Every structure is written in structure tokens, then in C-alpha cells.
Amino acid sequence: MTTTVLSGTGVGRKAVIGPIAQVRASVDAAPDAVVTRDGAEVPADQLPDLIAQSFKQVEQNLKNQAAGASGSLAAVLTAAAQIAADPALVAKSQANLKAGKPAVAAIDDAVNEFVALFEKLGGMMAERVTDLKSVRDRVIAALLDQPQPGVPSLDVPSIIVAEDLAPADTAALDLDKVLAIVTELGGPTGHTAIIAGQLGLPCLVQVRGITNLEDGTVVAADASTGKVTVNPGDDIAADIQAKVEFEKQLDADTEPGATADGHTIALLANIGTAADAVRASARTDGHVVEGSGLFRTEVLFLDSPKAPSVEQQTKEYAGVLSAFEGRKVVVRTLDAGADKPLAFATQPDEENPALGVRGFRSARLHPQLLSDQLAALAQASHDTGTKPWVMAPMVATPAEARDFATQAREHGLEKVGVMVEVPSAALRARAILAEVDFVSIGSNDLAQYTMATDRLRGELSDLLDSWQPAILDLIASTAAAGRELGKPVGVCGESAADPLMALVLTGLGITSLSMSLGSIPAVRFSLRRHTFAQCEAIAQAALAGNSPEESRANVIELLAPEVKAALVV
């Protein structure tokens, strides 16, 4: 077997070896595609029964997946199974076939009729269109005896490979059998990468050629180097095993986040669901994970066709607060829009959704959504006895910060803050902090808006580099405002997960770092081997750079030898 190396961008530091499992795209079938079995064309008189069998096969597959899922994912899969079981859809497909249409066209046209009907009815029916199209793709794949599109069922622990993954696809993964995620597209700050990190999975993006590999091909995926080695030899396997052993050593340190001389900096986990909270807080000594610095509440409702009730939200939020047993939990209110569309909150006709009605701006059109969420958070706080820190995303002005703080405090929420994600908020951080109790820097979006670069465009990822001097300047300005006013300034974007950048952020005066769960040990290791004074010197060296490469190189020059040897690739 030939060993080859594919290059991409790694997210995190972990490395694994295992077989790949491809996430299949929808079958690109011509309307008049020939239906075959065992190499022979299926006779016309057998096609009606085969169409019915294909619908039945899809129905059963979806039921089986729903039985192994939970929450909103189970509900989505069950709804899709009900569509596949609809006798009217099967009958219409068979009628189209009898009228002379080829088998694929017969199914496609039948589904399109129902799509048009559902869209005309609007409301809840219109929201079923996506399920209809998903069922169509699955039935056509079954009819043509092709692999089912979407996330495969895994028989053995595998590395998931895809062109890209939607958040719903990632949510459908069987975490007990997923070793890593590798995609051909996407970017290091896109949501596939973020969710993979949140789940503690190694992730590589922009790996050209990865989707050309056959299922079952063994590869070594190393996020620290951004390399995927196809059919790795013993030397690569030994290198991967050494990295695994080093990660285990890092996990053994269970002390709170602090520098070598005792300057504390809270190390927190980014989460999206109650299950994430349970994983993050599994060791209850309070020293492994000190809480959550970013609870992405919109993740709970990505598949919801309608706005969740106050009661539903209260239950979910209480589950998260209870999991952390009184530790700090920073809750971000719904950040709907752009690359996180919610059926009940996203504007469908926005020409530039990243600059549109998203985050706190959604309250302009849907004020009840924010009011209900704040009410649910207040009730969850009362029920659990834990007081959450609550912050709004996409705040651009002091007036918006004041508006949010007023509404949150009227609901009885005491710790109120906002996200710093747009340059205007960073530049006016002192005025914004005068209105709230804390701010948290979302470095992914701050990079996107500072550099005018879509964070989903992997080919522009160099502009989104967290070491970009302009981004560092805005973080430094925000941290300085926090020190001046004596208020906490955290970072919850992916830059917090970089063990070298963590030294810079600490030296700038950032008070907490929130990241994917698997990133915490390396960050703790790096901090514990430098004094606060060293961190301050490292921060100034980073700010002196005129390019990302120069800023990072300046920092590497000042690293403690053991950190340089262990963490610099």
C-alpha cells in the first residue's frame, strides 16, 4: 500500500489513526437513470413494487436512527420517517411511473408536487419541505442501490470524512464511534470545527482529496500538523502514539488555571447542550473545568420548526446549570442568523446575513424571543440555585449594551454582559463596560468583521489568523478597558484554545479563557510554565509584530524551553 500525505488546517492538537467513513452527498441521478439489480435492468412491471420497497427501506432506516437518538434530533428523524411512510407519496410516485415517467423522475416529480403544496400552505407545513427533500434523496439512493446520503451508521470507531458537515449532521454522530472529523471544505473557525472541538474530537479542514478515498481506508489524522497520512507506516503510528501519551500526561494536571507564580486565569469550556455540560463537568472536583465561558443556546434549537416555549427552555437551561453544580456558567442569548439559521428567527431573504439581523439584533424583529429566553434563564436560576452570567451577542454600541442590560436585570438576572465581536464594540469597550458587568471577546467573529472575511471561506483562512496584528490590537484595547474599570474581560473564541496565544491573552489582562474541552490541558500546561511577568512580555512581543507570522515568531522566542519543545510544531 502506498503512503501519501494530504495537507489541510488542523483544529486543536490531537491525533488519531483509524479507518475512514465517508458522509455521502445526495445521489446525482439523471431523471431517466436506469434502475438495475445484479447488473441487469429491472423490468418495468417490477418498478412500482421496487419504488414502494425503497420508501419502506428509508422509513425503517430513519426509524432505527431515531430510536438511537434523543432530543430534537430524534424528533427530526421521526418526522422524516413519517414522511417516508406516507402512502400518498408512494401512490403519486407509482402513478407518475404508470403515466410513462422514468422511475427517478416519477419520485422526484411526486415530491416536488408535495413541496409546492406545503410551501403554499405555509407555516408548519412549509417547514417540512427540507424533510421532504431529504426523504426524496434517500429514496432515490435506495432505488438506485446507492449508499444512503448523510452520516453513515458506524460499525467500528472511525474517522468521519465529508466535503463539509452541517451542524445537524455533526449532531447526528455516534460519539462513541467517532475518532475525528476531516473535511475537504470549511474553515478552522467554522461551525464544523467548533462543534468538533466542543465534542473533544480532532478536526482537520481544507484537506483536498480526502473525499476521494474509499470507505475503510486507514489514515492518521494529526490536527497539530494539519496532515492526513493515508496508509501510515509504523513510524507514523509510533509518532501518533507518542502524542496520545503526551495528551494523557496533560490530562493528569487537575489544578485551576494559573501562571507559574499564581496569577489566576479561569479555564472554562464552550458548550452547546446539556450533554456537553455533563461531559465538561464529569470530574466534579472543580479543578479540571472551572465552568463554562460560553453556552451557545441556539445549538439547542437548530432543528426546531418553531420557537421553544419558556418551559422547554427552562428545562434545558436548568440541566446545564445543574451539571456545573454552582460553577460559573456564561450563557449567550440566541445568536440566530448567518451560518446558524433558526427556522423561527432567521430572515430568509437577507442578501448578506452575516451583516444582517442576527444575535441581539433579532430582538428588533422578534422581541418576544429575547423576553422568553431571559424569563426561562431567570426561572432556571431560581430552580437550581445557580446564578448564570448572561450575555448578548452582536452588540455594536453602548446604547445596545444598555438596552440588553436593562431587559436582563428587569427579569432578575444579576450578572449581565455582552459579546465583543465587532470592531465598534472593541473600540468603544470602556463605554460598553460602563453599562454592563463584563464582556467576552468572540475572537472568531471579531476576526471576521475586522478583516472583512467570511469565516466559512476556508481559502481565506490566512486573513482570519488569530495572530493578525489588527485583531490583537482590538483585543488589547478591550482588555485595557476592563483593567481600567476593574471588570472581567474573557475570550471565548478559538484563539483562547491556542496554548501560545493563551500566554498573550493572559499578559494583556484577559481574566478567563473559554475553549473546546479538549484544548484545556495544553493551555493549562503552557500557563503553568510562565510567570505573569513573562506573559506580559510575551504579549508586548506579539503586539510588536507586523504580520501573523512575525507576531507568533516573536512569542516563540520567549517561550519556556519545555513549552517550545512540546507545543511548537
Q: What is the CA 472 to chain-centroid distance, rounded?
A: 24
154 and 138 in one domain? no
Percent of the chain with pLDDT over 90: 61
How far is the CA of 74 from the CAs of 55, 78, 307, in angstroms? 19, 6, 18
Cβ neighbours of 87 (radius 10 Å): 9
pLDDT at 350 over 80: no
> Grid coordinates representing 325?
453544580
Which residues sit opposite 268 in a β-bridge?
Answer: 514
414 and 382 in one domain? yes
pLDDT at 126 over 70: no
pLDDT at 121 over 50: yes
pLDDT value of residue 186: 79
Residue type, 413: L
pLDDT value of residue 72: 52
pLDDT value of residue 244: 84
DSSP letters, 159-228, are EEEES---HHHHHTS-GGGEEEEEESS--TTSHHHHHHHHTT--EEE--TTGGGSPTT-EEEEETTTTEE
Q: Is 321 exposed, middle or buried (0-12, 13-18, 19+ CB in 10 A)?
A: buried
- Alpha-carbon span 327 to 271, nearest angstrom: 14
Q: Residue 219 falls within a domain, yes or no?
A: yes
Of the segments 78-92, 177-191, 468-482, 515-529, which one has the largest average pLDDT value?
468-482
pLDDT at 199 over 80: no
CATH no. for residue 112? 1.10.274.10
Collapsing DSSP states into helix, strand and coil, what is residue 291? strand
pLDDT at 288 over 70: no
159 and 132 in one domain? no
pLDDT value of residue 196: 77
pLDDT at 115 over 90: no
- Alpha-carbon span 524 to 34, nearest angstrom: 59
> Grid coordinates representing 200?
473533544
pLDDT value of residue 548: 96
Collapsing DSSP states into helix, strand and coil, what is residue 512? strand
Report residue 430's pLDDT band, with 50, 70 and 90 as the boundaries.
very high
Name the domain boundary from 143, 176, 197.
143
Closest CA relative to residue 448, chosen from 360, 358, 526, 329: 358
Catalytic residue among 203, 411, 492, 530: 492
Q: Where are the beta strands (DSSP E) in 272-367?
A: 291-296, 328-332
Q: Residue 495 falls within a domain, yes or no?
A: yes
pLDDT value of residue 494: 79
Q: Residue 448 falls within a domain, yes or no?
A: yes
pLDDT value of residue 457: 72
Region 73-91: what's the mean pLDDT? 82
Q: Residue 29 falls within a domain, yes or no?
A: no
Cβ neighbours of 568 (radius 10 Å): 13
Known catalytic membership, residue 287:
no
How far is the CA of 488 from the CAs of 83, 244, 398, in angstroms? 50, 35, 17
DSSP-assigned letter for residue 518: G
Name the domain boundary from 102, 127, 143.
143
pLDDT value of residue 307: 83
In contact, 182 and 479? CB cutoff 8 Å: no
- Alpha-carbon span 256 to 524, nearest angstrom: 8
Known catalytic membership, residue 366:
no
Region 284-303: what's the mean pLDDT? 77
Closest CA relative to residue 480, chosen from 415, 428, 418: 428
Spatial strand order in the sheet of 4-7: 4-7, 227-230, 218-222, 15-22, 158-162, 178-183, 203-205, 9-11
448 and 311 in one domain? yes
Collapsing DSSP states into helix, strand and coil, what is residue 295? strand
Number of domains in the chain: 3
pLDDT tens digits along 451-471: 998 876 767 878 989 999 999
Region 101-111: what's the mean pLDDT? 94
Q: Between 315 and 282, where is the model more confident? A: 315
What pTM, to 2 d.p., does this model score? 0.73
Report residue 284's pLDDT band, with 50, 70 and 90 as the boundaries.
very low
Q: Between 63 and 19, where is the model more confident? A: 19
Name the domain boundary from 184, 200, 235.
235
Which residues sit opposite 350 in a β-bridge?
Answer: none
82 and 136 in one domain? yes
pLDDT value of residue 129: 73
- Alpha-carbon span 44 to 40, nearest angstrom: 12
Report residue 73's pLDDT band, with 50, 70 and 90 as the boundaries.
low
How many secondary structure helices (H) and strands (E) does the chain include?
23, 18
406 and 313 in one domain? yes
pLDDT at 168 over 60: no
Q: Residue 350 falls within a domain, yes or no?
A: yes
> Grid coordinates representing 434?
460602563
pLDDT value of residue 432: 98
214 and 69 in one domain? no
374 and 357 in one domain? yes
Catalytic residue among 191, 203, 411, 530: 191
Q: Residue 241 falls within a domain, yes or no?
A: no
Region 214-239: what's the mean pLDDT? 93
How far is the CA of 108 from the CAs of 24, 30, 38, 331, in angstroms? 19, 11, 24, 43
pLDDT at 372 over 70: yes
Q: Residue 460 falls within a domain, yes or no?
A: yes
174 and 91 in one domain? no
pLDDT value of residue 286: 45
Q: Residue 242 falls within a domain, yes or no?
A: no
Is the torsion defined by CA of 501, 507, 512, 518 positive or negative? positive
pLDDT at 257 over 80: yes
160 and 178 in one domain? yes
Report residue 285's pLDDT band, with 50, 70 and 90 as the boundaries.
very low
Q: What's the first-to-final CA gap in the chain, in angstroms? A: 28
Report residue 125's pLDDT band, with 50, 70 and 90 as the boundaries.
low
Least confident piece of the model among 8-22, 271-285, 461-475: 271-285
Of the segments 63-77, 339-353, 423-437, which one has the largest average pLDDT value?
423-437
CATH no. for residue 181? 3.50.30.10
Percent of the chain with pLDDT over 70: 91
Q: Write out the residue range of the structural domain in which residue 226 sits.
A: 4-23+150-235
Least confident piece of the model among 25-39, 361-375, 447-461: 447-461
Report residue 127's pLDDT band, with 50, 70 and 90 as the boundaries.
low
CATH no. for residue 282? 3.20.20.60
466 and 409 in one domain? yes
Region 346-358: what's the mean pLDDT? 75
485 and 557 in one domain? yes
